[in-house]
Amino acid sequence: MALIQSNRVRPHPAAGDGVVADGPASVLGRRSSPGRLNPLLASGALASVIFAVDTLVRVEFAVAVLYVVVVLVVAASRNITFVCIAAIVCIVLTVTSWLLVHRWMLPDSATLRMSMSVAAIAVTTLLACRSITAAEDLIATQRQRANLARFFPPQLVNELADLNMPTLVRSQPAAVLFADMVGFTAFCADASADETMELLRDLHRILSDRVFANGGMIDKYLGDGLFAVFGVPHTGARDATNAVLSALEIVTRISEWNMRRAAAGKPPIRIVVGIHYGEVLQGEIGGVGRFELAVVGDTVNVASRVEAHCRELDVDLLVTASIVEALHSEGSMRLAAKLTDEGAHILRGRSEAVHLHGLRMFRAKTDVLP
């Protein structure tokens, strides 16, 4: 999910993001496109001209003030280090020119002009550095919001992006949903790489759209499926209801998608969904400088096992008894009534039986990949 560094969310570099911090090596090594002048070369040439005029031409004018143009040209590199170096060089050139011309004398007008030039360079440097910092913060904020939008519904993106405090580990009730494509390995064996990626993009689009439409959060994309949570970061009054509605809409949309695929001569796709309700742990995990906001706990493990058990019972949707109980407590009795009692089952990796309720929708067994 969203990466977190210090107290700020930091996104994964996405393909095509196009936003990369410029270091000294990257600026020096950057090739200027045809017709575009390198700002460092332009500033060096301009500084040389200004120094020559200020030293050799006797004018009653603060020529050194023009060094602010040099600072502004260097600022085009968007590198604060280069801007500061340019400012120091310009100040040194200003003072050097003053000393060479006036031979260590201190006439009032020349000293005043020199002081004005140094002050102008310093102020311009400060403003340029602030401008670069503001631009970097804006880019970081845009990338942060774009990354959050991949995992959270739109109504939560602004709220989470504005948080300026570290995420604390906390336990809270939530509905956990796992969705997975059945027969993905068999599909990949017969499909090209382009066909596989096209299918995954379309599949993820359907899954994420239905999760976000019902107020869910995507914790992870799992190749041919996803792991979503309803009730994080804030517990809601209809988390179980929203999770089940999301699952029903996913299966419905997949059925509609299969009709379009059949018309195009493509094989149908089957998605199975498992949901469990219980306490989850929400917090930051990761290494130094790279953190991930994650949802973990036994509830997550059970939900994953429930989704895997859909294949054993040949159902499209499988939920635990805790989901049914939550549906009743949320007033969604009609939704709960759609689920068929499948009895108690031992799930993989579990020693105790789990009571399950399932639903079969829109398909016959021969209509899907094995």
The whole-number pLDDT of residue 145 equals 67
Worst-scoring range by mean pLDDT, 12-21, 157-166, 262-271, 336-345? 12-21
> Is residue 142 located within the same domain as residue 172?
no
Domain of residue 285, residue span: 167-367
> Is residue 172 located within the same domain as residue 51?
no
The whole-number pLDDT of residue 234 equals 82
> Is residue 356 located within the same domain as residue 306?
yes
> Is residue 95 located within the same domain as residue 173?
no
Question: CA–CA separation, 174 vs 319, rounded Å?
Answer: 14
> Is residue 194 located within the same domain as residue 332?
yes
Share of the chain above pLDDT 70, in %: 72
Comparison of pLDDT for 247 and 122, the residue scoring more:
247
Residue 356 maps to a domain: yes
What b-and-e string marks burial along 116-143, b requiring 16 or more CB atoms within 10 Å of the CB?
Answer: ebbebbeebbeebbeebeeeeeeebeeb
> Is residue 142 located within the same domain as residue 179?
no
Residue 157 maps to a domain: no
pLDDT tens across 192-225, in order? 999 999 999 999 999 999 999 998 988 888 889 9
Average confidence (pLDDT) over 91-110: 72
Comparison of pLDDT for 221 and 300, the residue scoring more:
300
Residue 176 maps to a domain: yes
Q: Say yes or no to pLDDT of 27 above 50.
A: no
Count the neighbouring beta carbons within 10 Å of the beta carbon of residue 154.
9
CATH code where residue 356 lies:
3.30.70.1230
Residue 139 maps to a domain: yes
The whole-number pLDDT of residue 292 equals 63
Residue 3 maps to a domain: no
pLDDT tens across 104-147, in order? 555 567 777 778 888 888 888 898 888 888 888 877 777 766 66
pLDDT tens across 305-324, in order? 999 999 999 999 999 999 99
The whole-number pLDDT of residue 287 equals 62
pLDDT tens across 161-196, in order? 555 544 556 789 999 999 999 988 888 888 899 999
The whole-number pLDDT of residue 217 equals 87
Question: CA–CA separation, 297 vs 107, rounded Å?
Answer: 77
Residue 8 maps to a domain: no
> Is residue 357 located within the same domain as residue 228?
yes
> Is residue 129 located within the same domain as residue 256?
no
Residue 159 maps to a domain: no
Question: What is the length of the chain?
Answer: 370
> Is residue 51 located within the same domain as residue 191?
no
> Is residue 222 located within the same domain as residue 311?
yes
Q: Say yes or no to pLDDT of 86 above 80.
A: yes
Average confidence (pLDDT) over 142-155: 63
Worst-scoring range by mean pLDDT, 213-222, 240-249, 288-297? 288-297
Q: Which of 75-79, 150-154, 180-184, 219-223 has the highest mean pLDDT?
A: 180-184
Comparison of pLDDT for 9 and 225, the residue scoring more:
225
Residue 5 maps to a domain: no
Q: Say yes or no to pLDDT of 32 above 80.
A: no
Cβ(85)–Cβ(47) below 8 Å: no
Worst-scoring range by mean pLDDT, 44-48, 229-233, 253-257? 44-48
> Is residue 312 located within the same domain as residue 184?
yes
The Cα-based distances of 120 to 54, 66, 89, 97 in angstroms read 16, 9, 14, 16
> Is residue 355 located within the same domain as residue 261?
yes
Cβ(332)–Cβ(267) below 8 Å: no
pLDDT band at 355 (very low <50, low <70, confident <90, very high): very high
- Among 148, 178, 207, where does a domain finish? 148
Question: CA–CA separation, 326 vs 347, rounded Å?
Answer: 21
- Which SS3 state, helix, strand or coil, does residue 226 take? strand
Domain total in the chain: 2
Torsion of CA 49, 50, 55, 59, to 10 degrees: 120
Positive or negative torsion for Cα 360, 204, 280, 326: negative
Question: CA–CA separation, 280 vs 293, rounded Å?
Answer: 13
